[in-house]
């Protein structure tokens, strides 16, 4: 990676990604200049001469801009469309976003290919951008002075809009889930990120309740003393064990394992369940109800 996020944004603003194609502008200026020059030669009109003088300085300016844009494309090894997508991503989620994604990804190195697929789906980024600016970010920048990497000592922000920040954190959790759930080191990192983002207790409670079922290492302490808000709908205790696929003499470990495995099948935030979210929401309510009942 040749640019930090801040440098990348600065370059993008300088070359003006949304400007009209330079080639067309240069051709237009040259055409106008030649027409005015021919008319001046034929008529020796002083006004036309001044028009030529006014137009001439703009031609090298646009040639320089064109060369600078082409050089930038060459340096990044990205197309203009890819650059635009990545620029919009940084503008929406901030300069710390790639580092946070990288830190989540590096805790599950075996899932590299799946991580690339998920990031591509969640953020609409090109694979080369994902690899160079997210997955392999640390290796590319270990010798560079890039303050965006040190998010732990910074005043971490994603966006001034809390809905954008929450949307980004939602996607971090989805990236951490992948196939086998959220491991303890991933969970601790996600909690740390939310703390740095100054999430309040309501948001912490929401994420804990939503994603606890997907944790691979269950933390019993988080449930002790927790008052249930679930209204039980089944009458026969055996029915709750049936929901979890267990016998009534199941051990605590068997109950936790069954709960986690069912969550990995039916949780609505799993990418594989994107087409059955409403069904999965209802199923998870039923699974949570059964789990709270049998563990109590």
Residues 98 and 210 in one domain: yes
Tell which of 190, 214, 238 closes a domain: 214
For residue 114 the two structure tokens come to 């799946």
Q: Find the domain containing 122 and state its range.
A: 94-214
**Predicted model pTM:** 0.76
Q: Which tops the pLDDT comparison, 101 or 71? A: 101
181-199 per-position pLDDT tens digit = 899 999 999 999 999 999 9
Residues 101 and 42 in one domain: no
CATH at 274: 1.10.287.110
- Per the structure, how many domains does the chain have? 3
Residues 103 and 192 in one domain: yes
What is the distance, to the nearest Å, from the Cα of residue 116 to the centroid of all Cα atoms in its chain?
11
* Predicted pLDDT at 143: 45
13-56 per-position pLDDT tens digit = 877 766 545 555 555 556 555 655 555 555 565 555 555 555 55
What is the distance between the alpha carbons of residues 180 and 214, in angstroms, rounded to a whole number?
8
* 257 falls within a domain: yes
What is the distance between the alpha carbons of residues 289 and 233, in angstroms, rounded to a whole number?
8
List, in order, residues 6 or more apart from 231 with CB less than 8 Å away.
Answer: none
Residues 122 and 155 in one domain: yes
Mean pLDDT computed over every residue of the chain = 80
Q: Which residue has the tokens 């969550």?
A: 263
Residues 158 and 56 in one domain: no
200-218 per-position pLDDT tens digit = 999 999 999 899 889 887 6
* 285 falls within a domain: yes
Residues 118 and 177 in one domain: yes
* Average pLDDT rounded to a whole number, residues 53-80: 69
* 269 falls within a domain: yes
* Predicted pLDDT at 99: 92
* 84 falls within a domain: no
List, in order, residues 6 or more apart from 159 with CB less than 8 Å away.
Answer: 92, 93, 94, 165, 168
Tell which of 174, 190, 214 closes a domain: 214
Residues 121 and 151 in one domain: yes
* Predicted pLDDT at 224: 43
121-138 per-position pLDDT tens digit = 899 999 989 998 899 886
Which has the minimum average pLDDT: 36-45, 87-96, 106-115, 215-224?
36-45
Tell which of 51, 77, 103 closes a domain: 77
């Amino acid at each position: 990676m040749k640019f930090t996020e801040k440098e990348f944004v600065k370059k993008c603003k300088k070359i003006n990604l949304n400007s009209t194609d330079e080639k067309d502008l240069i051709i237009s200026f040259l055409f106008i200049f030649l027409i005015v020059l021919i008319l001046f030669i034929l008529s020796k009109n002083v006004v036309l001469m001044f028009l030529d003088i006014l137009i001439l300085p703009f031609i090298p300016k646009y040639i320089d801009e064109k060369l600078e844009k082409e050089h930038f494309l060459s340096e990044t090894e990205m197309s203009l469309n890819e650059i635009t997508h990545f620029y919009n991503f940084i503008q929406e989620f901030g300069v710390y976003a790639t580092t946070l994604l990288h830190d989540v990804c590096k805790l599950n190195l075996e899932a590299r290919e799946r991580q690339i697929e998920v990031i591509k789906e969640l953020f609409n980024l090109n694979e080369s951008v994902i690899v160079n600016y997210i997955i392999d970010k640390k290796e590319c920048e270990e010798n560079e002075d890039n303050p965006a990497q040190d998010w732990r000592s910074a005043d971490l922000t994603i966006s001034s809009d809390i809905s954008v920040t929450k949307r980004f954190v939602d996607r971090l959790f989805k990236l951490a889930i992948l196939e086998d759930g959220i491991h303890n080191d991933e969970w601790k990192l996600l909690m740390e990120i939310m703390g740095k983002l100054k999430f309040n207790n309501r948001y912490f409670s929401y994420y804990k309740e939503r994603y606890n079922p997907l944790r691979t290492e269950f933390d019993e302490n988080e449930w002790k003393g927790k008052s249930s808000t679930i209204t039980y709908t089944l009458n026969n205790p055996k029915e709750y064990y049936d929901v979890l696929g267990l016998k009534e003499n199941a051990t605590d470990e068997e109950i936790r394992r069954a709960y986690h495995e069912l969550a990995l099948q039916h949780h609505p935030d799993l990418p594989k369940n994107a087409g059955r979210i409403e069904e999965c929401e209802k199923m998870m309510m039923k699974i949570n109800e059964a789990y709270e009942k049998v563990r109590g």
